Structure 1
Amino acid sequence: MASPPPLPPEIAQWFAAKGWRLRRHQADMLAVAGAGRHALLVADTGAGKTLAGFLPTLAAFCPSVLGDDPPPEGLHTLYVSPLKALAHDVQRNLLTPIAEMGLPLRVEARSGDTPSDRKKRQREKPPHILLTTPESLSLLLSYPESFKLFAGLKRIVVDEIHAFATQKRGDLLALALARLQAIAPDVRRVGLSATLADPAGFRAWLAPFGEIDTVTLVEGEPGAPAQVDIVLPADTRVPWGGHAGTWAIPQLYEQIRANRTTLIFTNTRFLAEYIFEQLWDANEDKLPIGIHHGSLSVEGRRKVEGAMARGELRALVCTASLDLGVDWGDVDLVVQMGAPKGSSRLLQRIGRANHRLDQPSRALLVPGNRFEFLEAQAAKDAVDEGRRDGEDFRPGALDVLAQHVMVCACAAPFDEAGLLAEVRSCLPYAWVDEVVWSRVLNFVATGGYALKAYDRFRRIVRDRDGTWRLTHPEMAARHRLNAGIIVDSEMLNVRFRNGRSLGRVEERFAAALAPGDTFRFSGLNLEVEQLKDMDLIVRASAKAAVIPSYGGLRLPLTTHLAERVRGLLVDRAGWARLPEEVREWLEVQDWRSRLPGPDNLLVESFPHGGREYAVYYTFAGWNANQSLGMLITKRMEDAGLMPGGFVANDYCLAVWGRRAVTDPAPLLSPAILAAEFESWVENSYLLRRAFREVAVIGGLVERQQPGQRKSGRQVTFSTDLIYDVLRKYEPGHVLIEAAWADARTRLTDMARLADVLQGAAARLEHVTLDRVSPLAVPVMVMIGREAVPQGAGDDELLLEAESLADAAMRVD
């Protein structure tokens, strides 16, 4: 690697005043920038990654470097982050060193929360550094002035790159990077992350396609090992069932009292609200405790973020909304409530504590049940060993590509072949050939064969010279109102009658409420006064409240962590380090039945409560197990086994019926999986749900029109009508294909299901028992409670678990 250029005295003096030294990887990033190369920096949390990404920009604006030249005008560096909170946090942390060094640099953030007048000013007079998200960047590229705006761009810094690349937001960002490279050929790309298991794959994603050798991998100095501990019950035993971990609230509260600031991560918005409520009930000292998640209002989130930055909170309960890179140096403890689901995610969350490379981050894991204890132990082992979860790369989504075509058309007419070459210059879309490209253009132009008679779907048209342009200028405004990748569940605003907004809840939840009903949200008990348009009008209440259960994304158990849990189950020598009750649980399972390990697929059959049960220990994650449940019950019905239902968690699947499963092998045959899967998906809500999302992303259905926003019911009605037309008259439509891709991956995890079935023939072990086994208890207690929000029924669930456990653990 080339030697780094001399550090400008302004930066050197600033480092000295802070008592810091220039880290090796920070110097390497300066050297890579000086050599005019792209860079991927992989460094531990607290290693100064963000500063390393910005150092070349700061150096370029140092007065000692500028000499007598005035600072350059226009946009110099673009910073792209996955979270609005992260962009605002980086802005706070950049402004201080810029001011202390006296650099002539203007820094601004741009997201969906940015006022429209400021957005307009940023296009006309951009700052030197713009902090944004993939969606806001895509919208910026849709303006005609984008060519001038980005013409002088020198650097693009993509923070937390692992949070983009393997998802649809990564597809959108990759397309935006390709466009920016076309506008500013000399721009250099920089990727930052602390949690990459496959740096080579991310180098390929970051680089222009086929130019991976232009991306230099920079590895950071190793940091102090994290200190991770698993919380155990003080006066009871590790629970059999439940996910909330509320048994640990007294111990958690003592930790909050003993530390300056504690960050408490939960896996869902509901659980954040629930844990926050439990902590307030225990908060005898009236300590300042806050809550943060994506459904809260912008004002509420900003208020909490500001309080944390100023060190005014003793604890903050949050979700993935604060997973990535938020730098609050006074956080000295991180708590993970429930199972972490992946070692990389856990490592990312742990890194929020201390946020200093030379000091260990401290974290506590609070498992909700015995399987979650094993998962917590597996995750702790992976963190201790420095092992991260791998990321699966996938072909770019066609609905995202259709949206990008509109972005380009809104900016200026485009040449078909030229834009295809640009699209294929990014890894996710290198596979797109002329046939696929023609289908996508035809969809954007007419809506497709079955819809081309309707003018509303005609968005672009090809002129005689072969150039594509908008059919009407108003199409640009319509696109900007509706563009985006994140399609949330239909949400309603929660507000007081005086107009003060508290955030949003799902429309389907709000629709079930009547005036006088109460629920808990944003840390308050609220009574419903009225449902009006897209607003749920409430007032504060002292009445007891139920808690909204959000239908947000369920975090998947990674394959890496699943294999580690299976390894723990059969590592009998390693059981000595487990709590007594967990060790006893596994010992009795080993004595009465068998243990599922890496080399077998265990199926247990037993009677219980007048039903015949079969439990399949797949460790394939909730989505795949849900899909397997659908498949098995259909096959049982065809075989006359009279299935009654199923329930799944990340680890296993319990299916019941009136007749016993004597041979599970036919139920797990991969022979006709593809045909069955297609039949099931077509006849379920899954494909319709997937189609609704791709129709919105692809621009076929608009969520907003000038002056009004469609309700979720209206969007669903529109997409259902179109879906029925396309399924009948154009089943090969681009968006039907995109919906199938989503159904196979995100909604059903078809790949992991196929892996389970492919390995079943060689690895199947079937055990017939006279009663429930110890390992089956956690999934059995879920039966009949599938619709109960996680945590809300924990007390009743624990009582039921103890009853089942008495039968399971008897050694007679």
Structure 2
Amino acid sequence: MNQIADVWFFNQGWEPHAFQKQAWKALAREQSGLLNAPTGFGKTFAIWFGILHHYYDNKAFQKKKDKLKTPKLHALWITPLRALSKEIYKATTQVSNDLDLDYKVELRTGDTSVSERQKQRKNPPQALITTPESIHLLLASKGAADYFKHLEFIVVDEWHELLGSKRGVLIELALSRLKVLCPQLKIWGISATIGNLDEAQDILLGKDHKGVTIRANLKKKLRIETVFPDNLEKFPWAGHLGVKLLDKVIAIVNKFQSTLIFTNTRSQAEIWYQQIIMHYPEFAGILAIHHGSLSDEVRLWVEEALHEGRLKAVVCTSSLDLGVDFRPVDCVVQIGSPKGVARFLQRAGRSGHRPHETSYIYYVPTHSLEIIEGDSLKYAVKEHIIEQRIPYIRSFDVLIQYLMTLAVGDGFQADEIFGEVKSTHCFSSISREEFDQCMKMLLHGGKALTAYDDFHRLVLVDGVYKVESRKLAMRHRLSIGAIVSDAMMKVKFMSGKYLGSIEESFISKLNTGDVFWFSGRQLELLHVRHMEVVVRPTTKSKGVVPSWMGGRFSISPDLGIAIRHSFKHIQKNAGLSEEIKFLKPLFQEQQRRSALPGEDDLLVEYIQTRFGHHLFVYPFDGKLVHEGMAQVLAYRLGKIKPATFSIASNEYGFELLSATSYDLDEALVKDLLSPKNLHQDITSGINVREMARRRFRDIAGIAGLVFQGYPGKPMKTKHLQANSGLFFSVFEDYEADNLLLRQAYDEVFDFQLEEGRMQLAFERIADHRILLSFPDKLTPFSFPIFSESFREKYSNEDWQSRLETLKLQLEGKIE
């Protein structure tokens, strides 16, 4: 029985769900566990009333409580977002107010003032709602062990979000310490559905845990509808539809009381917002925009206006993906591919945000071929295909930061902490030798930095490692955390003329002398100095045009599987989905001009145009994987006959364009796409060292090698890059086995190049039949990829009209 919950629910006129009652029972039995429930069904209350029941009704705890003179910290609720923290705070304080409880809840995030934090240290509330970084800040304060020792509960909200990031590693390390400080600790995670839910629970609760999993078996009704254009473009290009479907999107918005319009990038959100206001001025005042680059104040206003039902629609990015609660949203529109099934479901769940309501989501393709993803998404949802969240392992930068955190706080004993660290999933494979190497970096800078006093950070006092320098302690507290973002680099001529900014991750894989297209010009890379890219105009005929991270993230492996499944049906005539029926004329045109691949075929097209020789390959594995595959293929072709290649790709395939022609046959193509020596060819064909050097900047910042600056006075990015670049070179020359150096290369292969996915793609292709075709003109499949490279070559206004002319020529409408 949970009387507190019964009274509150009765007063609200609500009936608790079965999963809430299950959770209260498990919490009353003092179990740990993982709760999996959809948004809008009261998962916060499923845990919260269990915590309150323990505080007021658990007999053993009452005895403990009676011995204490003042209240102590009873529960910690950790969330990944400040906005979500505020939501939880609102809901939980409402319960205390409604029932007149003396259970005090407080917030501690980046917004909490210094005086408020000090008060919380001296007189803790019963519950603190906070972020992963704030937990580490508390561990970095003197008396942390005393502060936490009466803690009974830790709840990690949106655990699936934290799991696939280094912030998840921060949580793992904090829990490894708190479990020792508080043997009575109960740990609960709240997670959306992911493909590896059991693993997520194991990582959170630790090896050999006896925790429970509570799943809310609530079938939420979901309506997915694809928005079709009036006419099918047989030669589509990315972004070509998008805003052309504006009238249809507004018709949907007008059908519902309130709508969230999700885009994948901030620039896309800005474009849609402007277009709606321009074409539908009556939306002024009832339409808002919400994305990560806007100020907290603006975002908060939008969230509150949504909550109160004052807005008709909000154009947003993933900034509104997570648990922020606004009941009035009736409908969701997804512009373009959502890139992942879980992301699509998460967004769909923002509508019909109350139990038993239908969630409506409309999928708006941005070009004709993207229409097929409507079919793929419906298939993935029906078959419960959903992404796994891949946890980080062996993140030594986070470990070094954590050891420093403990030393700044109460200090630590190495043997004890090694055992605790080894019990986490992230560091289960760490050897004592590796742990000692981390310690040496903190004690005297390791092999390479011993001569510099700044890296003599720890001292040993009576068997306990501590930080005695107040300056180092303060700098460390200011640097706690693992959130990093991609930097922008300035593109300049040698004369100093500024052309614009480009993402660092794009530049990092180019070599000196490489040519790339930018702002409608052909540029040769001369050198990279700090955060400046120095270039000169060139007449070399080929340029590289991939945008490596490019503001556009790649489709997930699971959505890739669903898309390949959709392409199985393109040759059938019966039992087709409305999306494939609509695309039938495009597929017939593809068949007529080239070939149409079956389920176990790989289509390769070799086409000659006035632009050169185009090699198109269609693995359907996502943009990032295709860019890596294209680099490998370019390297392998270059070994046969030296050539300069221009590379372009989209989610469905990639293009290598060269002035040099090759005699291709099926056997040679099979050989070029072989998984043999793949790692070696990636290393030779892509500038992995430069990518690792750039990646190292974030690692050096997290590990505390480079100070990121004071509040309001951050260190300039070019100084950070210069300093971390110096360490990178020093380690390469004098300490080649340095763990942080090794980590930089591992992260490039695992996350930036997605080597694992690339390997699987090459292995899958090895079993496919190669369909090699030599069309005389561009085909419906090749045109969207060709357009990706085409748009980079011309100024913004120019490329669309030129592409339109080319399309009309292909359709035979003009000469």
Whether TM exceeds 0.5 here: the answer is yes
Count residues with an aligned counterpart: 754
Mapped to 1, the partners of 2:277 and 2:50 lie a distance apart of 46
Match of residue 583 from structure 2: 582
Match of residue 276 from structure 1: 273
Report sequence identity in percent: 29
Mapped to 1, the partners of 2:426 and 2:763 lie a distance apart of 28
Mapped to 2, the partners of 1:809 and 1:185 lie a distance apart of 76
Question: What displacement does 1:553 show?
Answer: 5.9
Kindly indicate whether the alpha-carbon contact (under 8 Å) linking 1:253 and 1:282 is maintained by their aligned counterparts in 2. Answer: no
Task: Confirm whether residue 675 of structure 1 aligns to residue 671 of structure 2.
Answer: no
Task: Confirm whether residue 300 of structure 1 aligns to residue 298 of structure 2.
Answer: yes
Distance 1:67 1:152, change over 3 A: closer
1:803 to 803, 806, 811: 806
Question: What displacement does 1:295 show?
Answer: 1.5
Task: Confirm whether residue 655 of structure 1 aligns to residue 662 of structure 2.
Answer: no
Task: Confirm whether residue 12 of structure 1 aligns to residue 6 of structure 2.
Answer: yes
Distance 1:736 1:183, change over 3 A: same
Question: What displacement does 1:580 show?
Answer: 5.2
Mapped to 1, the partners of 2:267 and 2:176 lie a distance apart of 38
**Normalising by the residue count of structure 1, what TM-score does the alignment of the two structures yield?**
0.86
Task: Confirm whether residue 218 of structure 1 aligns to residue 214 of structure 2.
Answer: yes
Distance 1:139 1:564, change over 3 A: same
Question: What displacement does 1:352 show?
Answer: 0.9
Mapped to 2, the partners of 1:421 and 1:784 lie a distance apart of 56
Question: Structure 1 residues 775-784 or 109-118, which shifts more?
Answer: 109-118
Task: Confirm whether residue 468 of structure 1 aligns to residue 471 of structure 2.
Answer: no
Kindly indicate whether the alpha-carbon contact (under 8 Å) linking 1:777 and 1:801 is maintained by their aligned counterparts in 2. Answer: no
Distance 1:234 1:682, change over 3 A: closer
Match of residue 757 from structure 1: 762
Kindly indicate whether the alpha-carbon contact (under 8 Å) linking 1:424 and 1:430 is maintained by their aligned counterparts in 2. Answer: yes
Q: SS of the residue aligned with 2:201? A: helix
1:37 to 20, 31, 40: 31
- Note the 1:227-242 alignment, pairs <5 A: 227-234=223-230, 240-242=236-238
**Normalising by the residue count of structure 2, what TM-score does the alignment of the two structures yield?**
0.86
Question: What displacement does 1:136 show?
Answer: 2.2
Match of residue 254 from structure 1: 251
Kindly indicate whether the alpha-carbon contact (under 8 Å) linking 1:37 and 1:188 is maintained by their aligned counterparts in 2. Answer: yes
Distance 1:159 1:514, change over 3 A: farther
Q: SS of the residue aligned with 2:343? A: helix
- Note the 1:149-298 alignment, pairs <5 A: 149-211=147-209, 214-234=210-230, 240-243=236-239, 245-285=242-282, 286-298=284-296
Question: What displacement does 1:74 show?
Answer: 2.4
Aligned Cα RMSD in Å?
3.2
Question: Structure 1 residues 231-240 or 564-573, which shifts more?
Answer: 231-240
C-alpha distance after superposition, 1:170-210 (max 9, x if no partner): 11111111122122121111111222222221121121223
Question: Structure 1 residues 796-805 or 358-367, which shifts more?
Answer: 796-805
Match of residue 542 from structure 1: none
AA matched with 1:247: K
Distance 1:67 1:451, change over 3 A: closer
AA matched with 1:713: K
C-alpha distance after superposition, 1:256-284 (max 9, x if no partner): 33322211211122222222222221232
Match of residue 774 from structure 1: 780
Mapped to 2, the partners of 1:144 and 1:660 lie a distance apart of 69
Distance 1:618 1:444, change over 3 A: farther
Distance 1:583 1:139, change over 3 A: farther
Q: SS of the residue aligned with 2:633? A: helix
Distance 1:152 1:19, change over 3 A: same
Question: What displacement does 1:309 show?
Answer: 2.1
Distance 1:50 1:804, change over 3 A: same
Distance 1:282 1:808, change over 3 A: closer
Question: What displacement does 1:359 show?
Answer: 0.9
Question: What displacement does 1:323 show?
Answer: 0.8
Mapped to 2, the partners of 1:764 and 1:655 lie a distance apart of 21
AA matched with 2:268: L
Kindly indicate whether the alpha-carbon contact (under 8 Å) linking 1:79 and 1:156 is maintained by their aligned counterparts in 2. Answer: yes
AA matched with 1:626: E
Kindly indicate whether the alpha-carbon contact (under 8 Å) linking 1:774 and 1:805 is maintained by their aligned counterparts in 2. Answer: no
Question: What displacement does 1:168 show?
Answer: 1.5
Question: Structure 1 residues 162-171 or 762-771, which shifts more?
Answer: 762-771
Question: What displacement does 1:621 show?
Answer: 2.2
Q: SS of the residue aligned with 2:351? A: coil
2:333 to 329, 332, 335: 335
Q: SS of the residue aligned with 2:281? A: coil
Question: Structure 1 residues 686-695 or 90-99, which shifts more?
Answer: 90-99
Question: Structure 1 residues 396-405 or 11-20, which shifts more?
Answer: 11-20
Kindly indicate whether the alpha-carbon contact (under 8 Å) linking 1:195 and 1:348 is maintained by their aligned counterparts in 2. Answer: no
- Note the 1:83-482 alignment, pairs <5 A: 83-211=81-209, 214-234=210-230, 240-243=236-239, 245-285=242-282, 286-463=284-461, 466-482=463-479
Match of residue 624 from structure 2: 623
Match of residue 725 from structure 1: 730
Distance 1:680 1:81, change over 3 A: farther
AA matched with 1:56: G
C-alpha distance after superposition, 1:454-510 (max 9, x if no partner): 1122222345x54322252322211111122111234xxxxxxxxxxxxxxx57599
Kindly indicate whether the alpha-carbon contact (under 8 Å) linking 1:87 and 1:109 is maintained by their aligned counterparts in 2. Answer: yes
Match of residue 539 from structure 1: none
Mapped to 1, the partners of 2:377 and 2:308 lie a distance apart of 32
Question: What displacement does 1:63 show?
Answer: 9.1
C-alpha distance after superposition, 1:99-138 (max 9, x if no partner): 2222222222222233333223222222222222222222
Distance 1:398 1:264, change over 3 A: same
Match of residue 503 from structure 1: none
Q: SS of the residue aligned with 2:334? A: strand
Kindly indicate whether the alpha-carbon contact (under 8 Å) linking 1:207 and 1:426 is maintained by their aligned counterparts in 2. Answer: no
Task: Confirm whether residue 56 of structure 1 aligns to residue 70 of structure 2.
Answer: no
Kindly indicate whether the alpha-carbon contact (under 8 Å) linking 2:163 and 2:390 is maintained by their aligned counterparts in 1. Answer: no
Kindly indicate whether the alpha-carbon contact (under 8 Å) linking 1:41 and 1:193 is maintained by their aligned counterparts in 2. Answer: yes
Question: What displacement does 1:442 show?
Answer: 1.6
Mapped to 2, the partners of 1:707 and 1:19 lie a distance apart of 48
Question: Structure 1 residues 410-419 or 554-563, which shifts more?
Answer: 554-563
Question: Structure 1 residues 387-396 or 353-362, which shifts more?
Answer: 387-396
- Note the 1:526-675 alignment, pairs <5 A: 554-571=552-569, 572=572, 573-575=574-576, 577-578=578-579, 581-596=582-597, 598-640=599-641, 642-657=643-658, 658-660=660-662, 662=664, 663-675=668-680
Distance 1:652 1:446, change over 3 A: farther
Q: SS of the residue aligned with 2:647? A: strand
Question: What displacement does 1:766 show?
Answer: 3.9
Mapped to 1, the partners of 2:770 and 2:811 lie a distance apart of 20
Question: Structure 1 residues 651-660 or 53-62, which shifts more?
Answer: 53-62
Question: What displacement does 1:443 show?
Answer: 2.0
Mapped to 1, the partners of 2:87 and 2:491 lie a distance apart of 32
Q: SS of the residue aligned with 2:102? A: coil
AA matched with 1:659: S
Mapped to 1, the partners of 2:341 and 2:457 lie a distance apart of 45
C-alpha distance after superposition, 1:17-37 (max 9, x if no partner): 323211111011111111111
Q: SS of the residue aligned with 1:355? A: coil
Mapped to 1, the partners of 2:633 and 2:676 lie a distance apart of 13
Q: Which residues of structure 1 form unaligned runs of 5+?
A: 1-5, 491-505, 519-533, 535-548
Distance 1:349 1:742, change over 3 A: same
Match of residue 695 from structure 1: 700
Question: What displacement does 1:288 show?
Answer: 1.5
Distance 1:729 1:586, change over 3 A: same
Question: What displacement does 1:705 show?
Answer: 4.1
Mapped to 1, the partners of 2:784 and 2:496 lie a distance apart of 32
Q: SS of the residue aligned with 1:279? A: helix
